Amino acid sequence: MKSYRTIVIIKIMFIWYLLIVSAGFLTTSTVAYYSDQKQANGSLTIGTWESEESEHQKED
C-alpha cells in the first residue's frame, strides 16, 4: 500500500511540473519576427544638380 501511495504522489508531482513548465512556455514572448523584403535592381534619380561644366555648355 505504501508503494502505491508513493507512485500516486510521484505522478501528481510530475503532472504539476508539466503544468508549470507548459505555462512558462505559453506565456513567454518569442524572438521570432516577420520580414517581407524584396530585392530590386536598378537606379532611381531623386534630383538633378547642375555642375559648372553644364553651366558653361549652356552659355556657349
Is pLDDT of 1 > 80? no
Residue 8: the pLDDT is 94
**What is the SS3 assignment for the chain?**
CHHHHHHHHHHHHHHHHHHHHHHHHHHCCCCCCCCCCCCCCCCCCCCCCCCHHHHHHHHC
pLDDT category, 35, cuts 50, 70, 90? confident
How far apart are alpha carbons 27 and 18 in whole angstroms? Answer: 14
Q: Where are the domains of the chain?
A: 1-28
pLDDT on residue 6: 93
More confident residue, 60 or 52: 52
